[in-house]
């Protein structure tokens, strides 16, 4: 009985560790698909139901979160520069992201694609 409990506890520990240590890497195409839906919902050409709103929210949150993180990084280190105008809307960023992913399929991770899109769209002028 004691051995069974120890084996069960060990397996449970492995499962908990495996689940908590797994990184969540989103593909650029997955986020792009959600972003296309987000634009359709925002423009009224897709139904604004709970499923579509959830997927649109994932796109909006992912894109805006990546831009916010990039801005915070640029303010706190000297080796990273981002010169995005303050009035750059999330909707415009989403549109630019969709176009960028289509034009640059070599960037397969969403986080990399967003960073490269920002570098291309918001270069710092000297």
Phi and psi, residue 27, nearest 5°? -80, 150
Give me the residue spans of the domains in the chain. Answer: 25-121
Q: 27 forms bridges with which residues in the sheet?
A: 109
- Predicted confidence band of residue 98 (pLDDT cuts 50, 70, 90): very high
Of the candidates 70, 56, 48, the residue with the CA atom closest to the CA atom of residue 98: 56
Helices 90-103 & 28-43 angle (0-180, nearest 10) = 140
DSSP symbols for 29-80: HHHHHHHHHHHHHHHTSS---HHHHHHHHHHHHHHHHHHHHHHHHHHH-SS-
Q: Are 66 and 95 in contact (CB under 8 A)?
A: no
- For the segment 87-91, the average pLDDT, to the nearest whole number, is 88
Q: Are 88 and 5 in contact (CB under 8 A)?
A: no
Q: pLDDT (tens digit, 9 = 90+) per residue, 110-122?
A: 989 998 998 888 8
Q: Are 56 and 47 in contact (CB under 8 A)?
A: no
- Predicted confidence band of residue 85 (pLDDT cuts 50, 70, 90): confident
Residue 27 has pLDDT above 90, yes or no: yes
Which pLDDT value is given to residue 126? 62
């Amino acid at each position: 009985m004691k051995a069974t409990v120890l084996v069960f506890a060990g397996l449970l520990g492995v499962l908990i560790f495996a689940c908590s240590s797994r990184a969540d890497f989103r593909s650029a195409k997955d986020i792009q698909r959600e972003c296309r839906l987000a634009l359709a919902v925002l423009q009224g050409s897709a139904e604004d139901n709970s499923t579509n709103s959830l997927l649109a929210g994932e796109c909006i949150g992912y894109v805006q979160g990546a831009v916010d993180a990039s801005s915070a990084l640029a303010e706190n280190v000297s080796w990273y520069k981002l010169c995005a105008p303050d009035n750059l809307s999330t909707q415009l960023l989403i549109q630019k992201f969709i176009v960028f992913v289509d034009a640059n399929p070599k960037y397969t991770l969403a986080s990399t694609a967003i960073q490269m899109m920002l570098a291309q769209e918001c270069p710092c002028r000297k």
